[in-house]
């Protein structure tokens, strides 16, 4: 039989709608499964004002026989088999004649009992309890109360439509009783409708211009957009996140196309599209990558016959663009470089100084970085960029659209005729803003971004400001993840400890904690962030431990080690090799280092192992130096058969000291070759898991 639930709400944001649909479905399935009602076919639909769940469910639990036991046999019958009052009372309480009682054997002895057919609960009954339970269980990133109620939810709930097999499933919560009614579009078709099935619900709402399926609305928006842009030979400037938001936000999608005066096209496309997207949520239209003086908006209406909606958007957009142009012109007139002194008045952090101080530090840090990165040929330009990059913070445009920080700096630097590497470094130095963002495309952008992020991290950590749990007021975690992402994407091998020390020195006496303490904090902090990124890439925690255990001073190499381990984890040699490495670790623990002398070998197996090791070592050392851990691992894995043979045939702990020490020395040498690739002992293999 069909189940249909509509939770009528005030406008919910897209992310909350998604959470509600997923969690509610899971919760309902769980409740129904516990009651032995299969609910695999639950489907969901939604608008910003409706959360909809529907699907076929069994009518109820199956009927079953249940055995109920009463008093002991001895108390139930007299010696001649006459039922006692106890037996009569039990039979009465179960609604059966005393003759229906039977004797049942239990662990505690013989009792009287009665078998009775028990009707399964109806699904409607189960739902009447399960639905309110599920609603109560939902949780959102930000929750609210309303009126005098105590329920916390995403937005106020205004009604429940709940049917099973066409009948109302009755429940009430927060003063609302479930029913079989809902209303059409809040503004345009606010009629109340009564429904018996999902099909009727969907059809009647469609007649009132409400489309309940978000995918269908999205397709409708896309089709309307296509029909509007095709005739002008243009295309939509893609913005999938905006499309998803708008498909959620409207019940009756209607796309409006409008225009703005061509004179605004002199503004950069970044400014135009930001001004259009923020606020009015408009799409930009482009032809061959060039912005056209047109926009597309998605309205929640049946149509715009009088053109009021288009005209309204045009008027608002014109004002916004006029504002943006005013900022653009003011900023150009004031000039980027000429505004540099204003950075002296803008504090970066109370104890760490102004943005002018920061710019000066950045100049020193990029110079150092450039010296460490061979491919960097633009030290001079980077120095200029470091001095310029923060000035856009005092421009009008960034004040209005903070999301354009960096971007505006780049555009203004370009307008002032700075060379390309300077412009790119300034424009890209905030990237990546989040781990899902791309790293800077240019090496200059990458270096300046590293310098900026590291400067902030070292400074704040150096003041002893803790980043814990939910408290990260300076966004240090995001910054550190950005650092990791950049060195990975740009393949930058850097001695981090020395770099951080350099930055601490640049800060001079501004920092509060002693150098060693800052470095210890930072080591742990960066290891944590790299761990997080590797975990996001789906790498097992023990492989991450093994990779980081071999050293984290060079974040990029630590990353490569983890990737190499991950690439080998399913190969047949992996597990035997790990076990062998663990055996090495165990046997060598507590042993002093001894010198290796090839002339002391006596057994064939040890000579062969030594020969194999020498060969492998010569090959593997350059691989490790290059950071090619995949290749290095492939080569060292070849030692495993010889090592196995060695352990089988050779007595390591030989009585004769000379032999014993030399064998240990061979194993120590092997281990020393393995450790820069990974700390294999930290890998967890199947056998061990079973033991644990």
Strand partners, 46: 51
- Our finding on whether 180 is near other proteins (CB under 8 A) is no
DSSP-assigned letter for residue 595:
-
- Shortest Å distance, C-beta 203 to other proteins: 24
Do 127 and 165 form a contact (C-beta atoms < 8 A)?
no
CA distance 361 to 596: 50
**Secondary structure of residue 91 in the 3-state scheme:** helix
- Shortest Å distance, C-beta 147 to other proteins: 5
The two tokens of residue 24 are 């509610």
The two tokens of residue 229 are 């842009």
- Shortest Å distance, C-beta 98 to other proteins: 57
CA distance 309 to 311: 5
Chosen residue from 145, 377, 498, 515 binding other proteins by CB under 8 A: 145
- Our finding on whether 249 is near other proteins (CB under 8 A) is yes
- Shortest Å distance, C-beta 326 to other proteins: 7
> In 301-408, where do the E strands start and end?
347-349, 353-354
User: x/- string (CB under 8 A) for other proteins, residues 187-206?
Assistant: xx------------------
CA distance 548 to 545: 5
The two tokens of residue 252 are 């009756």
Helical H runs in 251-354? Answer: 269-277, 308-334, 336-339
Tally of CA atoms within 13 A in the half-sphere of 39 that contains its CB:
27
For other proteins, the closer CB: 100 or 311: 311
Handedness of CA 421, 426, 432, 437 (dihedral sign): negative
- Our finding on whether 144 is near other proteins (CB under 8 A) is yes
- Our finding on whether 635 is near other proteins (CB under 8 A) is no
For other proteins, the closer CB: 306 or 689: 306
- Shortest Å distance, C-beta 394 to other proteins: 6
Chosen residue from 50, 155, 277, 634 binding other proteins by CB under 8 A: 155
**Secondary structure of residue 70 in the 3-state scheme:** strand
User: x/- string (CB under 8 A) for other proteins, residues 122-141?
Assistant: --------------------
Chosen residue from 116, 186, 478, 569 binding other proteins by CB under 8 A: 186
Residue holding tokens 């064939």?
A: 604
Chosen residue from 6, 31, 213, 300 binding other proteins by CB under 8 A: 300
- Our finding on whether 399 is near other proteins (CB under 8 A) is yes
For other proteins, the closer CB: 108 or 142: 142
- Our finding on whether 251 is near other proteins (CB under 8 A) is no
CA distance 210 to 253: 9
CA distance 537 to 532: 9
- Our finding on whether 603 is near other proteins (CB under 8 A) is no
For other proteins, the closer CB: 81 or 305: 305
Backbone angles phi, psi at 236, to 5 degrees: -75, 140
Instruction: Give the total of residues touching other proteins (CB under 8 A).
Output: 54
For other proteins, the closer CB: 316 or 621: 316
Question: What is the signed CA dihedral for 508, 514, 519, 520, rounded to 10 degrees?
Answer: -170
- Our finding on whether 147 is near other proteins (CB under 8 A) is yes
Do 321 and 431 form a contact (C-beta atoms < 8 A)?
no
User: x/- string (CB under 8 A) for other proteins, residues 304-343?
Assistant: xxx-xx-xxx-xxxxx--xx--x---------------x-
Binding segment toward other proteins, per CB under 8 A, in 63-71, 207-215, 276-284, 545-553: 276-284
Do 208 and 189 form a contact (C-beta atoms < 8 A)?
yes
CA distances from 141 to 144, 367, 587 (A): 10, 43, 52
Binding segment toward other proteins, per CB under 8 A, in 391-399, 445-453, 531-539, 631-639: 391-399
Strand partners, 131: none
Binding segment toward other proteins, per CB under 8 A, in 96-104, 155-163, 633-641, 650-658: 155-163
CA distances from 212 to 44, 93, 166, 439 (A): 10, 52, 19, 39
Do 162 and 5 form a contact (C-beta atoms < 8 A)?
yes
- Our finding on whether 179 is near other proteins (CB under 8 A) is no
Chosen residue from 299, 562, 632, 667 binding other proteins by CB under 8 A: 299
**Secondary structure of residue 43 in the 3-state scheme:** strand
For other proteins, the closer CB: 144 or 441: 144
- Shortest Å distance, C-beta 510 to other proteins: 14
For other proteins, the closer CB: 276 or 494: 276
Chosen residue from 133, 137, 222, 354 binding other proteins by CB under 8 A: 354
- Our finding on whether 282 is near other proteins (CB under 8 A) is yes
Residue 605 contacts by C-beta under 8 Å, 6 or more apart in sequence? 642, 645, 646, 648, 649, 650
Of the candidates 182, 164, 200, the one whose C-alpha atom is nearest the C-alpha of residue 56 is: 164
- Our finding on whether 181 is near other proteins (CB under 8 A) is no
For other proteins, the closer CB: 83 or 312: 312
Rounded to 5°, angle at Cα 637 from 636 and 638: 85
Chosen residue from 206, 281, 569, 617 binding other proteins by CB under 8 A: 281
Strand partners, 303: none
**Secondary structure of residue 300 in the 3-state scheme:** strand
Rounded to 5°, angle at Cα 122 from 117 and 124: 170
Do 164 and 2 form a contact (C-beta atoms < 8 A)?
yes
For other proteins, the closer CB: 191 or 537: 191
- Our finding on whether 345 is near other proteins (CB under 8 A) is yes
Chosen residue from 65, 80, 107, 350 binding other proteins by CB under 8 A: 350
Chosen residue from 13, 120, 179, 419 binding other proteins by CB under 8 A: 13
- Our finding on whether 347 is near other proteins (CB under 8 A) is yes
- Shortest Å distance, C-beta 187 to other proteins: 6
For other proteins, the closer CB: 77 or 160: 160
For other proteins, the closer CB: 158 or 569: 158
- Shortest Å distance, C-beta 277 to other proteins: 12
Do 320 and 284 form a contact (C-beta atoms < 8 A)?
no
- Shortest Å distance, C-beta 457 to other proteins: 15
CA distances from 152 to 14, 51, 134, 164, 536 (A): 18, 16, 13, 27, 31
Long-range contacts of 586-595 (CB under 8 A, 24+ apart): 587/652, 587/664, 587/667, 588/664, 588/667, 588/668, 588/671, 591/664, 591/668, 593/665, 593/668, 594/661, 594/662, 594/664, 594/665, 594/668, 595/665
For other proteins, the closer CB: 106 or 172: 172
- Our finding on whether 578 is near other proteins (CB under 8 A) is no
- Our finding on whether 430 is near other proteins (CB under 8 A) is no
**Which residues contact other proteins (rule: CB under 8 A)?**
10-11, 13, 142, 144-148, 155-156, 158, 186-188, 249-250, 279-282, 297, 299-301, 304-306, 308-309, 311-313, 315-319, 322-323, 326, 342, 345-350, 354-355, 393-394, 399, 473
């Amino acid at each position: 039989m069909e189940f249909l639930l509509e939770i009528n709400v005030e406008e919910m944001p897209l992310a909350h709608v998604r959470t509600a649909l997923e969690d509610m479905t899971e919760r309902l399935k769980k409740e129904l499964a516990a009651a032995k009602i299969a609910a695999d076919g639950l489907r969901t639909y939604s608008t910003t004002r409706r959360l909809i769940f529907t699907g076929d469910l069994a009518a109820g639990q199956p009927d079953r026989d249940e055995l109920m036991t009463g008093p002991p046999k001895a108390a139930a019958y007299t010696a001649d088999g006459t039922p006692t009052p106890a037996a009569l009372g039990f039979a009465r309480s179960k609604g059966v004649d005393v003759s229906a009682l039977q004797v049942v054997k239990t662990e505690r002895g013989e009792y009287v009992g009665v078998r009775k057919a028990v009707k399964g609960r109806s699904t409607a009954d189960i739902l009447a309890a399960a639905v309110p339970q599920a609603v109560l269980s939902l949780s959102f990133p930000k929750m609210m109360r309303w009126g005098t109620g105590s329920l916390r939810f995403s937005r106020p709930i205004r009604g429940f439509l709940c049917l099973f097999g066409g009948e109302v499933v009755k429940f009430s919560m927060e003063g609302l009783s479930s029913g079989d009614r809902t209303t059409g579009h809040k503004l345009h078709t606010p009629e109340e409708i009564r429904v018996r099935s999902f099909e009727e619900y969907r059809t009647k709402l469609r007649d009132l211009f409400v489309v309940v399926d978000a995918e269908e609305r999205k397709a409708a928006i896309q089709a309307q957009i296509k029909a509007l842009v095709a005739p002008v030979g243009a295309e939509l400037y893609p913005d999938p996140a905006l499309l998803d938001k708008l498909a959620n936000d409207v019940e009756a999608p209607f796309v409006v196309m409008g225009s703005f005066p061509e004179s605004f096209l002199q503004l950069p496309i970044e400014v135009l599209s930001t001004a259009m997207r923020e606020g009015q949520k408009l799409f930009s239209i482009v032809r061959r990558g060039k912005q056209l003086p047109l926009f597309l908006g998605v309205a929640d209406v049946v149509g715009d016959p009088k053109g009021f909606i288009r005209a309204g958007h045009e008027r608002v957009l014109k004002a916004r663009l006029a504002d943006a142009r005013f900022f653009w012109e003011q900023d150009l007139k004031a000039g980027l470089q000429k505004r540099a002194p204003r950075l002296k008045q803008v504090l970066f952090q109370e104890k760490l100084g102004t943005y002018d101080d920061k710019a000066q530090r950045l100049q020193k840090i990029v110079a150092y970085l450039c010296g460490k990165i061979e491919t960097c040929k633009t030290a001079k330009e980077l120095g200029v960029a470091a001095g310029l990059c923060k000035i856009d913070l005092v421009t009008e445009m960034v004040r209005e659209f903070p999301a354009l920080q960096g971007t505006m700096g780049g555009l203004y630097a370009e307008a002032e005729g700075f060379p390309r590497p300077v412009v790119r470094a300034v424009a890209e130095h905030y990237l990546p803003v989040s781990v899902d963002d791309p790293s800077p495309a240019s090496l200059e952008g990458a270096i300046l971004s590293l310098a900026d992020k590291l400067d902030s991290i070292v400074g704040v950590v150096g003041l002893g400001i803790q980043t814990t749990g939910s408290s990260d007021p300076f966004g240090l975690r995001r910054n550190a993840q950005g650092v990791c992402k950049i060195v990975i994407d740009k393949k930058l091998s850097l001695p981090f400890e020395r770099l951080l020390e350099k930055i601490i020195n640049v800060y001079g006496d501004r920092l509060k904690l002693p150098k060693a303490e800052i470095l210890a904090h930072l080591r742990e902090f960066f290891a944590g962030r790299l761990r997080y990124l590797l975990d996001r890439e789906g790498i097992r925690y023990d492989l991450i431990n093994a990779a980081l255990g071999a050293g984290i001073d060079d974040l990029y190499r630590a990353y490569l080690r983890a990737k190499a381990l991950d690439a080998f984890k399913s190969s047949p040699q992996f597990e035997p090799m790990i076990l062998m490495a663990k055996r090495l670790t165990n046997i060598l623990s507590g042993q002093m280092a001894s010198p290796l002398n090839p002339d002391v070998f006596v057994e064939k197996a040890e000579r062969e192992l030594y020969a194999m090791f020498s060969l492998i070592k010569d090959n593997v050392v350059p691989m490790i130096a290059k950071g090619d851990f995949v290749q290095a691992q492939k080569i060292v894995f070849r030692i495993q058969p010889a090592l196995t043979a060695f352990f089988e045939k050779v007595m390591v702990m030989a009585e004769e000291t000379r032999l014993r020490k030399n064998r240990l020395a061979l194993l120590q040498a092997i281990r020393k070759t393995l450790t820069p690739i990974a700390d294999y002992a930290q890998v967890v293999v199947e056998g061990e898991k079973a033991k644990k």
